[in-house]
Structures are given as structure tokens and as C-alpha cells.
């Protein structure tokens, strides 16, 4: 069974989707339409922007979404997913790919999500850190012992868990985790504490936008971040998508469940190859390729 997976924030690069724009009339049409919907020429930044320009949340999220969705649409009849999933932001790309959301509606939601998250980041100093080489339950236990807000945010693969929270709490947790045997505790260059309770204001803002958007019955199940389960019910998809902003991304569990449900090939649609690497760390015998 073919599983299409879609990357999240961090996969952006200067020149992204430029080849698609130059080769495909469909890509040109979609990306020109995106410029109009967003109210600025995001393609200028995608094709030739600096790393700093591409790191701005209001650019990064729509840019990765656009690269992913345009690429999957350009596959035309060859695009036949049996199941889909996306890492954090990538879940919106997955929901266009399986027909739950129209392209235009999803792009507006991604833009609203990015703006809301940026606002939440500005409320209190916060960050994230990657913890390598510890069991998940050890990381969870130590985070629970730290004063302040710090939680497990991204279960990326066995031995790699990202924590998220207030800067002081992250620093304390990192020191304790190194003492407990972590190989590395690396603070990430991100704008704030994504997938933590500190994103609650953004979640409330996004909930309004999602509630006003039409969600259709998909052509195949989406495995959502919050519970790593296959979902085809539009109302459940909505509910899980709202919860996603403050809940952890259960990517390890998602990959494991998709494999258990029959996935034999993972195809990453979007910039970069991060998800292919994570699939291999979950199960080295599973095929993982770029779209």
C-alpha cells in the first residue's frame, strides 16, 4: 500500500518549487493563485529568498504547504494514495491530497495558523529542544518534574523526541536530560513553543477559522498527529486538527500504525527528505522515496 507523507516546518530552502513553476502550467496557476490569496508574492521568497526570510513563520508554513501540495497535484493520475499523513503543518497538505480540503481553503487556514502561532510566540519567551538518545518515558518523566511549562512535543522517531516550553524550563530540562544520559539536548532555532500549552491562544484563533471551513469526506484515510489513528470522518478530522496545535506530534506512533495497517511504501511529497529518514529509523526495511 502506498502512503504519502508531507513534511512540516524546517524543510524550507531557497529555490523551493521553482522547478515546478518553470516546468508545469498547473504549478504556475496554483502558485500565482497563492500569491493572490496571501496578498503578497510568496513565490519571490520561495524562489530566491534568504534563509532569514524563509524562516519567518508567515512565510515558512505557506511555502512548505505550497511546495508539497503543488508537487502532489503535478503527479496527476500517478497520485494514488492508500493513506496519507503530515508532520504538524504537513497535515494540512495531507488533507488537500486526500480531498478533505480544497486547496484555496487549506492555504487560507495555513496562513491563519501561521499568523496565530506567530502572535502566541510573541506573548512569552519560549522555544523547543531536540533530545537524542533517551527513551520517551524518561523524557516525559523529567519534563513533568521541571517547574514551568515544558512538554514532549514531537515524537519523531525512536530516540529522538523534541520538547517544547518556556525558555527557563527548557534549559532546566535539557540539563537534567543530559545528566540522565541523553546523547544531546539541542535547542532549536524556532520562534516559540509549538505543540505545547503555550499555543492555546493560537488554537482558539485557529478553531474559529476551521469551524467556518468546509471539510469533505476524503478519498483515503488520514493518520492524524494527535492520536496516530486512521480517520475519514470530516468532523473528527476537524476536531483533531484543532487539538493539534497544543498536542504533541505522534510521528513515531503514526509511522508504526501505518505500517501495521499495511503501508509498504512511503512517498514524501514536499521539500527535503526528513520524513524518509524518520521512516527508516522506525523500520529500516520499509521503502521510503521522494515523490
Question: Is 192 inside any structural domain?
Answer: no
The answer to whether residue 144 sits within a structural domain is yes
Q: Where is the domain boundary, 187, 218, 237?
A: 187
**CA–centroid distance for 270 within its chain:** 11
Angle (nearest 5°) at CA 99 between 95 and 108: 55
* CB atoms near residue 187 (< 10 Å): 14
Q: What local confidence, expressed as pLDDT, does residue 122 receive? A: 86
CATH number of the domain that residue 128 is part of: 3.30.70.250
Domain range enclosing 286: 2-122+197-290
Q: 92 and 62 in one domain? A: yes
Does residue 43 register a pLDDT over 90? Answer: yes
- Average pLDDT value for residue range 109-136: 93
How far is the C-alpha of 162 from the C-alpha of 14, rounded, in Å?
A: 25
Are 43 and 66 part of one and the same domain? Answer: yes
| Residue 202 and residue 171 share a domain | no
Residue where a domain stops, chosen among 134, 156, 187: 187
pLDDT surpassing 90 at residue 236: yes
- Residues 115 and 29 reside in one and the same domain: yes
Closest CA to 250 of 278, 233, 225: 225
Confidence of residue 148 (pLDDT cuts 50, 70, 90): very high
Q: What is the mean pLDDT of residues 264-274?
A: 96
In the predicted model, is pLDDT for residue 10 greater than 90? no
- Residue 284 belongs to a domain: yes
Mean pLDDT is lowest, of 7-11, 156-160, 221-225, for: 7-11
Q: Are residues 177 and 118 in the same domain?
A: no
Give me the mean pLDDT over the 238-253 stretch. Answer: 97
List b or e across 13-48, with b for residues whose CB sees 16 or more CB atoms inside 10 angstroms.
Answer: eeebbbebbeebeebeebbeebeeebeeebbebbbe
Position 249 scores a pLDDT of: 98
- The DSSP bridge pattern shows strands 160-166 and 126-132 to be antiparallel
Q: Is residue 165 part of a domain?
A: yes
Which residue out of 88, 93, 111, 120 is catalytically annotated? 88
**Does the model's pTM come out above 0.85?**
yes
Q: Compare 10 and 267 and report the one with higher pLDDT.
A: 267
For residues 225 and 141, state if they share a domain.
Answer: no
Q: How confident is the model at residue 178 (pLDDT cuts 50, 70, 90)?
A: very high
Q: Once rounded to an integer, what is the mean pLDDT over residues 144-171? A: 97
Say yes or no to pLDDT of 55 above 90: no
pLDDT of residue 170: 97
pLDDT beyond 90 at 152: yes
**% of the chain with per-residue pLDDT over 90:** 92
Is the domain of 6 the same as that of 36?
yes
Q: Percent of the chain at pLDDT above 70?
A: 100
- Report how far residue 68's alpha carbon sits from residue 35's, in angstroms, rounded to the nearest whole number: 16
For the chain, what is the domain count?
2
CB 35 within 8 A of CB 43: yes
pLDDT score of 189 more than 90: no
Say if residue 99 is in the same domain as residue 210: yes
Residue 195: active-site member: yes
- The enclosing domain of 91 has a CATH number of 3.40.366.10
In a domain, 250, yes or no: yes
The mean pLDDT value of the chain amounts to 96
Last residue of a domain, one of 165, 187, 209: 187
**Known catalytic residue: 88?**
yes
What pLDDT, on the 0 to 100 scale, is given for residue 191? Answer: 80
Task: Give the model confidence (pLDDT) of 71-119 as tens digits.
Answer: 999 999 999 999 999 999 999 999 999 999 999 999 999 999 999 998 9
The Cα–Cα gap between 210 and 187 comes to 31
| Residues 67, 72: Cα–Cα separation, whole Å | 9
Q: How confident is the model at residue 260 (pLDDT cuts 50, 70, 90)?
A: very high
Amino acid at each position: 500500500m502506498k502512503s504519502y507523507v508531507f513534511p512540516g516546518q524546517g524543510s524550507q530552502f531557497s529555490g523551493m518549487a521553482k522547478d515546478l513553476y518553470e516546468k508545469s502550467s498547473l504549478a504556475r496557476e496554483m502558485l500565482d493563485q497563492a500569491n493572490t490569496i496571501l496578498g503578497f508574492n510568496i513565490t519571490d521568497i520561495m524562489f530566491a529568498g534568504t534563509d532569514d526570510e524563509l524562516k519567518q513563520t508567515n512565510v515558512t508554513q505557506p511555502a512548505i504547504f505550497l511546495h508539497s501540495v503543488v508537487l502532489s497535484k503535478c503527479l496527476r493520475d500517478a497520485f494514488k494514495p492508500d493513506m496519507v499523513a503530515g508532520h504538524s503543518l504537513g497535515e494540512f497538505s495531507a488533507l488537500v491530497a486526500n480531498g478533505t480540503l480544497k486547496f484555496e481553503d487549506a492555504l487560507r487556514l495555513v496562513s491563519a495558523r501561521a499568523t496565530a502561532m506567530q502572535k502566541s510566540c510573541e506573548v512569552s519567551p519560549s522555544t523547543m529542544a531536540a533530545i537524542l538518545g533517551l527513551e520517551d518515558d524518561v523524557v516525559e518523566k523529567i519534563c513533568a518534574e521541571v517547574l514551568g511549562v515544558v512538554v514532549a512535543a514531537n515524537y519523531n522517531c525512536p530516540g529522538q523526541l523534541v520538547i517544547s516550553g518556556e525558555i527557563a524550563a527548557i534549559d532546566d530540562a535539557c540539563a537534567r536530560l543530559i545528566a540522565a544520559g541523553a546523547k544531546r539536548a539541542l535547542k532549536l532555532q524556532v520562534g516559540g513553543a509549538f505543540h505545547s500549552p503555550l499555543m492555546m491562544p493560537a488554537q482558539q484563533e485557529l478553531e474559529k477559522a476551521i469551524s467556518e471551513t468546509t471539510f469533505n469526506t476524503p478519498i483515503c484515510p488520514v493518520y492524524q498527529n494527535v492520536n496516530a489513528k486512521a480517520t475519514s470522518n470530516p468532523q473528527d478530522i476537524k476536531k483533531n486538527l484543532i487539538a493539534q496545535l497544543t498536542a504533541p506530534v505522534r510521528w513515531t506512533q503514526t509511522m508504526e500504525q501505518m505500517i501495521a495497517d499495511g503501508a509498504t511504501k512511503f512517498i514524501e511529497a514536499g521539500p527535503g527528505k526528513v520524513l524518509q529518514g524518520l521512516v527508516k529509523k522506525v523500520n529500516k526495511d520499509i521503502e521510503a522515496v521522494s515523490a
